[in-house]
């Protein structure tokens, strides 16, 4: 359960409002977040695992305040980035997943076994000792996901996880995310994926302008985008 | 590009079988010895022995030769600087010594799992744990190892882009975008480290609950992929 209580974000440098005060409770299994470039999607989801802190108000995850219990919130909330190459640190797949497990499993043998299991579950067992550099973009994103899931988060936040992938990998990652037994909050420009959610947040200009049924949110978003495109053509 | 360069390769050479701490101490002692022992004979012995040690780990030949290029270039630049300052014998010796230590460092990284090296460093720094977190020392080591191929790739890409724009002669056209991208990459990594909880203390939060109690109370059924 994720709760926004009047949470807003104001840029420290310029006083620009990146997210207007927002109050929400997200308990749906699949939540998609859509909106134009710069509309505040990343700003909103980064609040969920304490990557960013609200300027006013608060954000609670399973009853914990992201400000006061940041470390335990991060334990509950995994975060998948668009570009896996910044997320992957160790030179081989298995070492990278093991790195995630360092905090929870102190015994090295047990850690390696757990890492191998995590890789196996995502279909990368055959690449466990391969250099991260030699993996394809899609495989790297899977590896990043394995590292996140290895620590058993109850919520996964994904900020455009399929934007850099080709169609085949996109379908594969979509299917994997779909099958996860955890709550998934996904920012996406892929409107088909957005429509498959249980609930959609549509952001514009740093505000949640629609919150509800995915098909309705996507229709509104398409309308807004085409009217802006016409405006630009007229100007 | 730098695919497998300097990365651990599972083999069964004597160096692979040595415990990592022996190798690390060995590297430190050899480096000191190489720079302390002066004179052409010792320099040559050091260089040949180091190359032999590197060869004994059976590194993959192509990526290693390709990967040695930047090191060779650095050696020539630093040696060249001393040459330019008039110390010819010193320049040659310094260059050879530097190359020898680089080869030994490579021998260490190709024969040791980074995970082992990180654990070793974490343990070595444990006595100082009240001042610096031992895990963060290990993490810094891992990140340094990770940054080298990344920055090399970024430099290569930027040089290509500069060439494509017909700016091959201008160093700025390569270096400025490369610096910007490196900075962006570093920011992204920093963010990912935070997101993965790697920067947090391993101790439980002050509320004292174990990680198991912190799971959400909602259980979602597993959906089959389409
Ligand atoms: N530190 C900052 N200072 C000032 N403005 C910022 C800062 N960080 C982000 N912004 C601005 O905040 C706005 C919202 O950014 P955000 O990254 O949340 O957008 P987004 O919806 O994720 O966009 P995209 O689809 O491009 O990823 C953008 O206009 C961005 O330029
Ligand atoms: Mg974004």
Closest partner CB to A178 (pick from B142, B205, B225)? B225
Instruction: Answer yes or no: do B95 and B121 share one domain.
Output: no
- For the segment B36-49, the average pLDDT, to the nearest whole number, is 87
Instruction: Answer yes or no: do B108 and B65 share one domain.
Output: yes
- State the CB neighbour count (10 A cutoff) for residue B57: 21
Work out the mean pLDDT of chain B and round it to a whole number: 73
Examine residue B141 and state whether it is found in any structural domain, yes or no: yes
Please report the pLDDT score of residue B22 as a whole number: 83
Q: How confident is the model at residue B204 (pLDDT cuts 50, 70, 90)?
A: very low
Please report the pLDDT score of residue B144 as a whole number: 66
Instruction: Answer yes or no: do B26 and B96 share one domain.
Output: yes
Q: Which range among B44-48, B55-59, B67-71, B196-200 shows the weakest confidence by mean pLDDT?
A: B67-71
Closest partner CB to A69 (pick from B193, B196, B207)? B207
Examine residue B205 and state whether it is found in any structural domain, yes or no: no
Instruction: Answer yes or no: do B106 and B31 share one domain.
Output: yes
Instruction: Answer yes or no: do B1 and B105 share one domain.
Output: yes
**pLDDT tens-digit readout, B151-168:** 777 777 888 888 777 777
Question: Best residue in A99, A148, A150 to probe B by mutation, most B CBs within 10 Å?
Answer: A99
Instruction: Answer yes or no: do B2 and B101 share one domain.
Output: yes
Please report the pLDDT score of residue A35 as a whole number: 96
Instruction: Answer yes or no: do B196 and B173 share one domain.
Output: yes
- pTM for the complete prediction? 0.70
Surface of B (138-167) touching A: CB under 8 A: 139, 142-143, 145-146, 149-150
**pLDDT tens-digit readout, A47-60:** 999 888 999 999 99
Instruction: Answer yes or no: do B3 and B107 share one domain.
Output: yes
Nearest residue on chain B to A147, judged by CA atoms?
A: B196
Q: Is pLDDT at A23 greater than 70 in this prediction?
A: yes
Choose the final residue of a domain: B112, B135, B162: B112
CB contact, 8 Å: B180 with chain A?
no
Examine residue B222 and state whether it is found in any structural domain, yes or no: no
Please report the pLDDT score of residue B99 as a whole number: 85
* Burial (CB count within 10 angstroms: exposed 0-12, middle 13-18, buried 19+), residue A150: buried
Q: Is pLDDT at B137 greater than 80 in this prediction?
A: no
Please report the pLDDT score of residue B138 as a whole number: 67
Choose the final residue of a domain: B94, B112, B130: B112
* Burial (CB count within 10 angstroms: exposed 0-12, middle 13-18, buried 19+), residue A92: buried
Examine residue B58 and state whether it is found in any structural domain, yes or no: yes
**pLDDT tens-digit readout, A109-166:** 999 999 999 999 999 999 998 888 789 999 999 999 999 999 899 999 999 999 999 9
Examine residue B7 and state whether it is found in any structural domain, yes or no: yes
Please report the pLDDT score of residue B205 as a whole number: 40
Q: By the 8 A CB rule, do B207 and A55 touch? A: no
Examine residue B138 and state whether it is found in any structural domain, yes or no: yes
Examine residue B211 and state whether it is found in any structural domain, yes or no: no
Please answer yes or no on whether A64 and B214 come within 8 Å at the CB atom: yes
ipTM of this complex > 0.90? no
Is B76 or A200 the better-scoring residue by pLDDT?
Answer: A200
Instruction: Answer yes or no: do B52 and B63 share one domain.
Output: yes
**How many Å lie between the centroid of ligand 1 and the Cα of residue B100?**
48
CB contact, 8 Å: B208 with chain A?
no
Ligand 1 pocket residue status of A188, Cβ below 6 Å:
no
Choose the final residue of a domain: B112, B142, B165: B112
Q: Is pLDDT at A217 greater than 70 in this prediction?
A: yes
Pocket test for ligand 1, best of A12, A35, A39 (most atoms within 8 A of CB): A39
Q: What residue numbers bound the domain in which B61 lies?
A: 1-112
Instruction: Answer yes or no: do B83 and B132 share one domain.
Output: no
Kindly list the residues from chain B whose CB atom is less than 8 angstroms away from the CB atom of residue A75: 197, 211, 214
Nearest CA, atom 6, ligand 1 = A11
Q: What is the 3-state secondary structure (H, E, C) of chain A?
A: CEEEEEEEEECCCCCCEEEEEEEEEECCCEEEEEECCCCCHHHHHHCCCCCCCCCEEEEEECCEECCCCHHHHHHHEEEECCCHHHHCCCCEHHHHHHHHHCCCCCCHHHHHHHHHHHHHHCCCHHHCCCEHHHCCHHHHHHHHHHHHHCCCCCEEEEECCCCCCCHHHHHHHHHHHHHCCCEEEEECCCHHHHHCCCEEEEEECCEEEEEECHHHHHHHHHHHHHHHHHHHHHC
Please answer yes or no on whether A104 and B211 come within 8 Å at the CB atom: yes
Q: How confident is the model at residue B132 (pLDDT cuts 50, 70, 90)?
A: low
State which H helix or E strand residue B120 sits in: helix B114-124
**pLDDT tens-digit readout, B164-192:** 777 777 777 777 787 777 777 777 887 88
Identify the structural domains of chain A with CATH numbers, from first to last: 2-234 (3.40.50.300)
What is the domain count for chain B? 2
User: Ligand 1 atom closest to Cα of A14?
Assistant: 4
State the Cα–Cα distance between residues B26 and B53, nearest whole angstrom.
Answer: 12
Instruction: Answer yes or no: do B107 and B120 share one domain.
Output: no
State the Cα–Cα distance between residues A226 and A212, nearest whole angstrom.
Answer: 21
Ligand 1 pocket residue status of A16, Cβ below 6 Å:
yes
**How many Å lie between the centroid of ligand 2 and the Cα of residue A6?**
21
Instruction: Answer yes or no: do B5 and B67 share one domain.
Output: yes
Q: How confident is the model at residue B4 (pLDDT cuts 50, 70, 90)?
A: very low
State the smallest CA–CA distance between residue B32 and chain A in angstroms.
28
Examine residue B220 and state whether it is found in any structural domain, yes or no: no
Please report the pLDDT score of residue B12 as a whole number: 83
């Amino acid at each position: 359960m994720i709760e926004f209580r009047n949470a807003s974000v104001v840029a420290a440098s310029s006083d620009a409002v990146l997210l207007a005060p927002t109050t929400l409770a997200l308990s749906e299994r699949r939540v998609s977040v859509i909106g134009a470039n710069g509309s505040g999607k990343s700003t909103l989801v980064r609040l969920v695992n304490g990557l960013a802190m609200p300027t006013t108000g608060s954000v609670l995850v399973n009853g914990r305040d992201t400000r006061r219990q940041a470390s335990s919130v991060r334990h509950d909330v995994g975060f998948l980035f668009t570009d896996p190459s910044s997320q992957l640190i160790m030179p081989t797949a298995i070492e990278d997943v093991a790195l995630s497990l360092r905090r929870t499993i102190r015994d090295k043998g047990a850690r390696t076994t757990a890492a191998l299991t995590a890789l196996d579950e995502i279909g990368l067992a055959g690449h466990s000792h391969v250099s991260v550099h030699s993996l394809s973009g899609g495989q790297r994103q899977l590896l990043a996901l394995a590292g996140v899931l290895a620590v058993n988060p109850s919520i996964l936040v994904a900020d455009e996880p399929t934007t850099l992938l080709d169609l085949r990998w996109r379908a594969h990652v979509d299917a994997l995310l779909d099958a996860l037994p955890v709550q998934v909050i996904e920012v996406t420009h892929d409107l088909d994926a957005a429509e498959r959610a249980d609930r959609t947040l549509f952001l514009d200009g740093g505000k949640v302008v629609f919150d509800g049924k995915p098909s309705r949110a996507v229709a509104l978003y398409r309308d807004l985008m085409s009217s802006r495109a016409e405006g630009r053509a007229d100007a | 590009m730098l695919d497998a360069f300097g990365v651990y390769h599972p083999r069964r050479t004597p160096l692979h079988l040595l415990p990592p701490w022996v190798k690390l101490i060995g590297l430190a002692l050899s480096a000191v010895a190489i720079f302390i022992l002066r004179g052409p004979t010792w320099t040559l012995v050091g260089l040949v022995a180091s190359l032999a040690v590197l060869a004994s780990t059976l590194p993959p030949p192509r990526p290693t030769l390709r990967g040695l290029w930047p090191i060779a270039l650095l050696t020539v630049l630093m040696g060249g600087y001393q040459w330019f300052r008039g110390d010819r014998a010193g320049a040659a010796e310094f260059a050879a010594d530097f190359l020898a230590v680089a080869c030994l460092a490579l021998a260490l990284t190709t024969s040791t799992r980074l995970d082992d090296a990180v654990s070793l460093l974490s343990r070595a720094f444990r006595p100082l744990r009240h001042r610096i977190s031992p895990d963060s020392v290990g993490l810094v080591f891992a990140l340094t190892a990770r940054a080298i191929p990344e920055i090399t790739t970024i430099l290569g890409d930027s040089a290509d882009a500069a060439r494509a724009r017909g700016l091959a002669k201008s160093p700025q056209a390569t270096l400025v975008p490369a610096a910007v991208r490196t900075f962006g990459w570093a920011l992204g990594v920093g963010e990912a480290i935070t997101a993965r909880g790697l920067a947090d203390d391993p101790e439980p939060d002050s509320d004292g609950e174990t990680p198991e109690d912190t799971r959400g109370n909602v259980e979602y059924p597993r959906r089959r992929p389409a």
